[in-house]
Structure 1
């Protein structure tokens, strides 16, 4: 098949979850003998025309000059180029800035869209933006031949809200099996003597609820907060609020995957506060590091973690877990999470499920 992947900044991954998936899946398709094209922003650091057998199409992207509207122009440029290439399948990852161009998608290609999370529910967006995102969601459904949900919760939502079927295919992760305790020295922590939170500084990730619980807790082990706290007002607000909680350390973003995985692996409790969206990549990565997870109590997290984690709704719940829960007492939960990644969320399996679905759609 001749297959295109649109909707990302490009490969190899320098950006996020969809880019990581696009990299793994496109290389997998090329290895299977398919003619694969991914669309890259012209601003992407990788400027070659092929990557491990995958064709790279570089499209103009003015986001650095005009901000968010540039994303819409970049997606338009990708779609206009795709009209010239006679693809069998176009895999569209997300819809936020592409769905308004849905009528321009080539009619001779099957359009398969991964619907991402419930973007319109994110509180970081103003009400008019949330209304637009809900509208864009509807447009994406109408302009797609087939839909993919990376979470049972998203699949249920699409069925209930739009009466449409979507194929459930989760995200993937790689098992972390090369721990190095020396990494901890750079962060001035000791194994199993610190707790960890990794998240973007957005209200729906429940950072404030978690950190309120830390502040209430009688247990004063170091609590590391990993994420870019200096990019928005919410981050500045949280840093100010917990200024007197000396065990809370805001250490900024970490982009060294080996360091992140070691911090996950050696933590006592790993907090996952995400409450909007589908299968969150960072959750699977934590599971792949054999962490003991305390997750926000919602259907998205429970569909992945099942009984292999603890769940919180309030700051008091967080306090109770910090005061009374040790990883050494619950190794079974951490091992079950690791097993599920090996059996259900490994990249070879996820890639095969996508390709099998493509073949099913082409019949």
Structure 2
């Protein structure tokens, strides 16, 4: 019997934004088991293919467009609610039996009790992928963080299965809420090489040998610690920072705290949208610095593990669960010493690190492997007491 899986919580297909959108696109692209039919909610304004209330097919998935009212921050909650309601209408109209709802993120957690009952009433199963620990992100105001923590608790309480993308997330959930029904399925990454011979961005900023940072421009990615640690070092290399800093007030705050503008080695170069060029920049970096502290299996770390021989990674549980012994770990107060020690690495030591990292990617983080795990989970029969 065909298993219908309704995916709620991404902006939709085709993927334009990374994160959950990339995950959903890779999930449907790498589908192996034809006994699964994917149905993907899409915000109507995010796709030329999506007309409000209508369906379209993309990579074999049935995509349904959801028109979301402009109601400010609550819009993301409204989107999930509208998407669930549209999915339930389709399930009833087409007499779909035992559907799976896969909700991405905890945003709707505050009202999930009501919708979990509706899902269970039609014989459905509720899976939740909470992503990272969103309530810890300092970009949110205190009331929002309080709501997100509450939403997380309610999602854990009402989901039939939590799918954590990192063992560190599951460890946290079990410590916080006890005996969580969960499986760990990581995020994936591609294993490809750039075919470029130069980077327009590196040429524009006249960059030779360099350390590299890539990531969202938010405090919990520890830009302050990375920049101050690098500035205190005796390295003669540049520090190339690829991030969406333009128009972000955090940039000025960081400049005032660190005075990075007085160090000619610090090069903010904006965002690089061309994935082929970004790959080239990763491949040619002397080392990649990863300061992400909040979240699960970070896509940027996986990309660096594949492309960059030497990765210097913040020593927190999430990162250790992802990278194992294939990277060099640092504590914030010792980053300068770690940076200075890298010049002593031999060619052989660098090659060994890269072989370990690429081996780990091929073993655990290919999209084929990730998507096969999800398919197995979606096809399981859950005999649950409700």
Which bracket does the TM-score occupy, shorter chain normalised?
Answer: over 0.9
Q: Could you tell me whether the CA contact under 8 Å between 1:94 and 1:113 is conserved in 2?
A: yes
Give the match for residue 106 of structure 2.
95
Q: Deviations over 1:138-180 (max 9, x none)?
A: 1111221111111111111111111113101101001122342
- Pairing partner for 1:222 from 220, 234, 238: 238
Report whether the alignment pairs 1:16 with 2:18.
yes
Q: Deviations over 1:314-358 (max 9, x none)?
A: 25x222233231473422112211111111100000000111112
After TM superposition, the structure 1 = structure 2 runs for residues 200-215 of structure 1, keeping only pairs within 5 Å, are 200-215=216-231
Q: Deviations over 1:55-113 (max 9, x none)?
A: 11000123xx4432211111111011121122511111111245524412422211111
- Pairing partner for 1:143 from 158, 162, 180: 158
Structure 2 stretches of 5 or more lacking a match? Answer: 51-55
Query: 1: distance between equivalents of 2:287 and 2:317?
Result: 21
Q: Could you tell me whether the CA contact under 8 Å between 2:312 and 2:327 is conserved in 1?
A: yes
TM-score by length of 2: 0.88
| Shift, 1:293, TM fit | 0.6
| Shift, 1:31, TM fit | 6.5
- Pairing partner for 1:321 from 333, 338, 362: 338
Q: Deviations over 1:112-146 (max 9, x none)?
A: 11121111111222222221111000111122111
After TM superposition, the structure 1 = structure 2 runs for residues 158-177 of structure 1, keeping only pairs within 5 Å, are 158-163=173-178, 164-177=180-193
Give the match for residue 197 of structure 1.
213
Give the match for residue 7 of structure 1.
9
Give the match for residue 296 of structure 1.
314
Give the match for residue 53 of structure 2.
none
| Shift, 1:204, TM fit | 1.2
Give the match for residue 373 of structure 2.
353
TM-score by length of 1: 0.93
Report whether the alignment pairs 1:78 with 2:83.
yes
* SS in structure 1 of the partner of residue 227 of structure 2: helix
Q: Could you tell me whether the CA contact under 8 Å between 1:31 and 1:53 is conserved in 2?
A: no
Report whether the alignment pairs 1:272 with 2:290.
yes
28 and 61 in structure 1: CA distance in 2 versus 1, 3 angstrom threshold: same
Q: Out of 276-285 and 102-111, give the one that drifted further.
A: 102-111
Structure 1 stretches of 5 or more lacking a match? Answer: none
Report whether the alignment pairs 1:59 with 2:74.
no
Q: In terms of Rg, which structure is larger? A: 2
Give the match for residue 36 of structure 1.
38
Query: 1: distance between equivalents of 2:32 and 2:111?
Result: 30
Query: 2: distance between equivalents of 1:71 and 1:131?
Result: 16
